[in-house]
């Protein structure tokens, strides 16, 4: 897998994941919507750590800076 996520993209995903998790665990987003958003937050964190977004690949999107 070639990296296709830049540092800003990765940071934004982690921050969104933290916000979603905080809202879920404080009860602000309960039920099925909360579980779906929590799963999405987990995907955000996972893709941030590996610097690869599978949805970017088919479209040729890359937020990495070119050297």
Cβ-contact 56, 5 below 8 angstroms: yes
Q: Global pTM?
A: 0.85
Taking residue 17's Cβ as centre, other Cβ atoms within 10 Å add up to 21
67 pLDDT more than 70? no
3-60 pLDDT, tens digit per residue, is 899 999 999 999 999 999 999 999 999 999 999 999 999 999 999 999 999 999 899 8
Residue 58 inside a domain? The answer is no
User: How confident is the model at residue 12, as a pLDDT?
Assistant: 95
Cβ-contact 53, 5 below 8 angstroms: yes
Cβ-contact 53, 47 below 8 angstroms: yes
Residue 61 inside a domain? The answer is no
Residue 48 inside a domain? The answer is yes
Residue 57 inside a domain? The answer is no
Q: How confident is the model at residue 2 (pLDDT cuts 50, 70, 90)?
A: confident
Residue 40 inside a domain? The answer is yes
Residue 32 inside a domain? The answer is yes
Q: How many domains in the chain?
A: 1
């Amino acid at each position: 897998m070639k990296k296709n996520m830049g540092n800003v993209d990765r940071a934004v995903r982690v921050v969104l994941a933290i916000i979603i998790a905080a809202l879920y665990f404080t009860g602000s987003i309960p039920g099925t919507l909360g579980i779906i958003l929590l799963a999405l937050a987990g995907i955000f964190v996972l893709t941030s750590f590996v610097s690869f977004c599978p949805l970017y690949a088919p479209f040729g999107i890359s937020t990495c800076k070119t050297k």
